[in-house]
Amino acid sequence: MHLWPEIARGSIRLGYVQAGPIRTRYVEAGDAGADEAVVFIPGTGGHLEAFTRNLLPHAEQHRTIALDMIGHGYSDKPDHDYEIRHYVRHLLDFCDALGLARIHVHGESLGGWIAAQFAIDHPDRVATLTLNTAGGLNTDPAVMQRVYNVTMKAVAEASPATVRARLEWLMHDPKRVTDDLVELRLAIYTQPGFLRAMEHILCLQNMEIRMRNVLTDESLSRITAPTLVIWTDHDPTAPVATGERFARAIPDARLVIMDDCAHWPQWEKADAFNRLHLDFLAPYAPAASRSAA
C-alpha cells in the first residue's frame, strides 16, 4: 500500500500547468487527448498522492487526473483565505488549461464540497459527480475544532509524529498509514510559508466563514449530473445520516456505504473503491473502452 508501487508499473505524467493565476501540480494517466477525464480532488490539507491507488485502474478506461488545489500540496499558495468560490474558480481554470470540456469529478472531504459546488455552478462541465465523505453540509463545532487542531499541529509542530497523527485520523486502521506517506506529507507541510497557507485553508473551520459557503438541500437540488455518494461506517467527520442527506437532496443520486473505512476509502479499501467507482462510471466510458471491456 505504498505510494510508488501503485503507479510504477504504468505510464503517468506528473507536472505543472498554469491554471489561471495558479501554477498547479497534477498527475495524469490514460488518453491525454481526451476532452473528458476523471478528476480526483483531495481534502483539507491534502495532495494528489491520496489517489495513487486509483490512478492506473481508472486510466484503463478514462483519462484520469489528480491535482493539488489552490494552496495545497505543491501548487501555488496566494496570500488570502481560500473559500469555496476560489477552489471552484481554480478547478474551472484547470479544466480550461488542460482542454477538458467535461469532467467526471470526484471529491473527497473538502474536495467533495468543491466538486458539489462546481456541479451547481457549472453543470455543463460535469459529466458525473462523486461525493466521497464530502464536507459542506455539516457545521458541527466539535468536528470543526478537531480538524483545525490536528491539522494545525501537524504543520506548526511538524514532525513525523504529528503528521502521522493527522494521517491516522483519516484511517479506520492506523496501520494503513505508511512511512512514505508520512514522509511526503511532512515535506509538503514544511515548505516555506506553508503555515500561513494552512491558516488560509482552515478558514472554513471558522463558523462565520463556513456558513457563507455551506451547501444546502436547496443548492444540492440544482445538481443535474448523475451522482454517486460514498460514505463509510467509521467516518470521523460526519455520520452516515449526512451521506443519506446528500443522496436525498441531489435528484439523480445513489448512496453506497463502504465498510471498515474512515475518511479515505479510496486508499483504505482501494480495490473495492475502484470497482465501485468504475462500475458507476461504466455507462459514461469512451466507446472504445466500453467495447474493449
- Known catalytic residues are 263
Handedness of CA 210, 142, 265, 132 (dihedral sign): negative
Joined together, the cell numbers standing for residue 46 give 491534502
Q: How far is CA 280 from CA 52, 81, 117, in A?
A: 20, 35, 20
Helix 179-189 and helix 141-156, axial crossing angle in degrees, nearest 10: 80
The residue assigned the cell 455520520 is 239
Instruction: Give how far the C-alpha of residue 55 lies from the chain's centroid of Cα atoms, to the nearest Å.
Output: 13
The residue assigned the cell 494521517 is 167
Handedness of CA 199, 203, 206, 208 (dihedral sign): positive
Given a contact cutoff of 8 angstroms between Cβ atoms, the answer to whether 43 and 111 are in contact is: yes
Query: Which run of H or E residues covers position 115?
Result: helix 110-121
Exposed e or buried b for every residue in 183-211, given b needs 16+ CB within 10 A? ebbbebbeeeebeebbebbbebbeeeebe
